[in-house]
Amino acid sequence: MAAVALPSDTPLVEALVEDSRWEDLDLESLAERAARATLDRLGLDPLAYEISLLACNDARIAELNEDFRGKPQPTNVLSWPSEERGAARAGEMPHLPAPEPPMPVGLGDVAIAYETCSREAREAGKPLADHATHLLVHGTLHLLGFDHEREGDAELMEGLETEILRGLGVADPYAAMAEGGARVTDG
């Protein structure tokens, strides 16, 4: 079966903006760029996939974090893949979806919290747009089966994030690790 031809301006990311502070950042455009760059890097046609994004605040993401992960505190980003795709062994690529499915496939949902994202960006001395872009790439990779629980998986995921972000003009978010910084953890 041939892939359904969609117009090139078909959005990959469908956003629900619950916290209007995200609108000042034009998060929907950042999310679209981040998701497209991630899929492009992995050889997947961005027109063949869909992602749902919830742009919320700390209170909302804390509820979601408790409901789905049993962690009653806010975090920066959460992801819910539509399908389990994880790798069998640490450091291996996960089982990616077909490069061009016959119709658009929903990859899953991502939620991002304004206060936590803003605070982390400020503490790291980086632009909010750059940090949000990093978290959106990170969340998209989670939807595709990438993880950072095991050392080899973390190295693979962080390497991809760094490469994708470089292509988007965003500095390496893990450079601080060389100076004793901490890895991104989904809290």
Show binding-site residues for Zn(2+). Answer: 138, 142, 148
Q: Residue 177 and residue 161: Cα distance in Å, rounded?
A: 14
Per the annotation, where are the binding residues?
A: 138, 142, 148
CA distance 76 to 62: 10
Spatial distance between the Cα atoms of 66 and 90, rounded to a whole number of angstroms: 27
CA torsion sign for 183, 70, 15, 109 is: positive
The Cα–Cα gap between 143 and 50 comes to: 11
Would you say 112 and 55 are in contact if contact means Cβ atoms under 8 Å apart? yes
The secondary element (H helix, E strand) that includes residue 49 is: strand 49-56
CB atoms within 10 A of CB 19: 19
Q: What count of Cα atoms within 13 Å lies in the side-chain half-sphere of residue 11?
A: 11
